[in-house]
Amino acid sequence: MIHRKGKNHRRYGSRRGPRGIEPSRTRPERTQGTCDRDHVLLRPLASSFDLTSLFAALSDTAEAAASTAVIKGLAHHAVLMLLVQIAVLLAMARFLGEIMRKLKQPPVVGELMAGVVLGPSILGLVWPEAQHTLFPKDQHLADLLAAISWIGVLFLLICTGLETDLGLIKRRGKTALMISAGGILVPFATGFALGEMLPEAYLANPDARLVFSLFMAVAMSISAVPVIAKVLMDLKLIRRDIGQLILAAAMTDDTIGWILLAVVAGLAKTGVVDVVTALKSIGGAVVFMLFAFTLGAPLIARVMATVDKRFGGSGSQMSLVLALAFATAALTHEMGIEAVLGAFTVGILAGQAPRFRHEVAHTLELVTASFLAPIFFASAGVKVDLMRLADPDVATVGAIVLGIACFGKFVGCYLGAWVCGISHWERLALGSGMNARGAMEIIVATIGLSLGVLSVEMYSIVVMVAIATSLMAPPLLRYTLSKVKMGESEAKRLEMEALAASSFIRQVRRVLMVSRNAHSVDLPAQILGYLSHEQPIEVTAVYACPQAVKTPWWRGLARRVRRYHATGAKALERIGRPLRLLKGSRPELKLITDVDPAEQVLAEAARDYELLVLGETQRSTEALFGPVADRIIHKSPCPTLIVREPAPKIAKGEKPPLYRVWSPKKILVPTVGTEYSKNAVELAAVLATSTRAEVTIIHISRTGSNDVDIARPHEIGAQIVAREAERAKKFGASVETVVMEGARPEEDIVRVAAQGGYDLLIIGSSLRAVSARAFFGHRVESLLKNAPCPVVLLSAG
């Protein structure tokens, strides 16, 4: 069809403006005022916290961006040089960082040295033309590289916050706080005294000595958690008591240090240090932290849970964490305290959220460690001028600063640990670890240089202190920690942690419980409740209506549909009652009234659940499960746990009880030594620990077998049950073992269960892909049909 042009028709792409005005065909030249407007994008927001001023500043920034079009207005040469700078800095930083890693030193040292090599200290001395070409004196280009570097700083602080374990700090609370107090107060005092005594030549602004002294005090107080954690991981000591204590103290130290830095940076921005300004900065930081750790923590946890339920996947959660971190960083910046505090705090709170995915932290760390952080450290190293450190006076001051930095940390940590009654070598290990400044010191130095608090000489000295203390930490920690002996209780704890790390049941955190019969949900719900007494479990309970009908949209309120919704609502209420046994958990209840409930259940199960629980009652038909249950079991994307109980014996005319409390006293677990059997034994042990039940592990060898491998069946069976019993006892269960021989093991197990009065039979088996229905083998099917007690079938191996 041909469309005729009307009189108001305008072709797409036409260059004619409105009302016949011909637009200019040449790009307007930049005026002198354009450069000033460009700096609106980089200008800090107002120092006082006011929502009106915040939105006004954001509006001004948006208008400036629209009017100047900074990115579009970049010249070809500027874009080229920015890309070349990023490529060269990244390549050199990664290269030297990997060399330092091979030498078992922190990679951050090599990344900093990359900037030193490319800066005026080496490249500028050997080939000044190349150095000036690579890093020209162009403020606009420097601002762009600085913006990328600051994004790297925020990413680094987010990752540091994600690695901060508040649970660890709480567990070692008093000791960690005392050591951290010593590790902050003594270096803070010595750093402040140093700032007061340094000559004016080392101050960027001699009139602001008090701010300079406070900044030096904070720089001396900070510790580098990433460096400490990396050294402890390399030494395989991160789970030791002393390793955990060092980490807890360093995390506490860092948290307090960032708050102090935010306060001091706020004072530096105002340029005035008086009681009102100090109280305003301190009050802003305190109010922000109180809000973050009281109302902010549950708010972030709820937002993350909502996003995870609605969208799922690591990508959406990572985007949410970054958006929250950058928004909070903007908020703290507007409040007059440093933006890094906002990013660090969001990292802590996001990492503690129940729905937080650890692969998100891994991805962020990968992006930060391989791209953003090397660029930041290398660009920070470019600003270091070693030629100034070669001056005897500057070198002397640098040596004094390094000595005072090490003295303050060692003495402070040693005294704090001495008060707590810690041994001599442990005190020295604490001082050795917390003396490492690493990346955190570089961030402090960069902030000080950007705020005009540190001169170039002092900035170079602080960076040198960061490099030196990071290089000192690994050998000192290796030596001091080799003198710290492991106690009996510590060995027991490490053994239990290793057991939990290799256990399937202990790794279960998210469970999807499915039921198509409201009367078959009590038992699986209570089993999950008992499991939650031993470990945190998040449960989503789904009730799939027995029959869903296809109805036109105009009959959506028909009686039959209303009946299904009413039935589902009652079922959800019934499911929720036994689920209240879940310790510290609020189960989510969902209703499915779709024509194909299996498809919806499988779609829900694909949302990163570790276990799918299915409740079934004994059927009068030959088939064990219905077609919907068969399909769910067959296609489940996660391990399945099927709870099947005999049909309740109810007299004619009576209604089944709405809810009955069930607690097993005797649990029987058959085992053949496979991974599936091992997981079943673990499940029985965890349940027994919660309910104080007795566990019997039984192995029945078939008589008359022609297998060469089982020439001594009784001896092999005894070895299998002994190994499984030892593992179950480590979980705290009371265990007995039985080894038998029989022609039909399934019949012997049913007989033992009936004669022994067992309350629960737990089986571990694999799904056999021989038909469309769920088939676990003939013996398992016989046990499911004939067992005199409820049966739990765990298919996880």
Residue 571: predicted pLDDT: 61
From the options 3.40.50.170, 3.40.50.720, 2.70.70.10, 3.40.50.620, give the CATH code of 495-648: 3.40.50.620
CATH topology of domain 663-797: Rossmann fold (3.40.50)
d(CA 701, CA 557): 59
Q: DSSP code of 369?
A: I
Compute the C-alpha angle 611/617/618, nearest 5°.
125
How many Cα atoms are found within 13 Å in the side-chain-facing hemisphere of 100?
22
CA-nearest of 669, 231, 289, 216 to 433 is 231
Cα dihedral 125/130/133/136 (nearest 10): -20
CATH class of the domain at 76-134+164-481: mainly alpha
Instruction: Assess contact for 429 and 495: CB atoms under 8 A.
Output: no
Structure tokens at 8: 């108001």
d(CA 236, CA 225): 16
Residue 496: predicted pLDDT: 82
Instruction: Name the β-bridge partners of 543.
Output: 515, 591
- Domain ranges in the chain are 34-73, 76-134+164-481, 495-648, 663-797
Residue 625: predicted pLDDT: 79
d(CA 747, CA 726): 27
Residue 578: predicted pLDDT: 64
703-748 confidence digits (pLDDT tens):
755 554 555 777 888 899 999 999 999 888 999 999 988 888 999 9
366-404 confidence digits (pLDDT tens):
999 899 999 998 998 898 888 888 889 999 999 999 999
121-125 long-range Cβ contacts below 8 angstroms, 24+ apart: 121/384, 121/385, 121/386, 121/387, 122/386, 125/387
Residue 527: predicted pLDDT: 87
Residue 20: predicted pLDDT: 39
CA-nearest of 630, 647, 183, 263 to 433 is 183
- Which residues of the chain register pLDDT less than 50? 1-49, 51-52, 54-55, 58, 62, 65-72, 548-551, 553-557, 708
CA-nearest of 423, 442, 252 to 348 is 252
Tell me whether domains 76-134+164-481 and 663-797 share a fold: no
Indicate the pTM of the whole model.
0.69
- Helix, strand, coil % in the chain, rounded to nearest 5: 65, 10, 30
d(CA 140, CA 38): 9
3-state secondary structure 204-239: CCHHHHHHHHHHHHHHHHCCCHHHHHHHHHHCCCCC
d(CA 38, CA 201): 33
d(CA 405, CA 129): 37
d(CA 749, CA 670): 8
Q: DSSP code of 672?
A: -
Residue 240: predicted pLDDT: 81
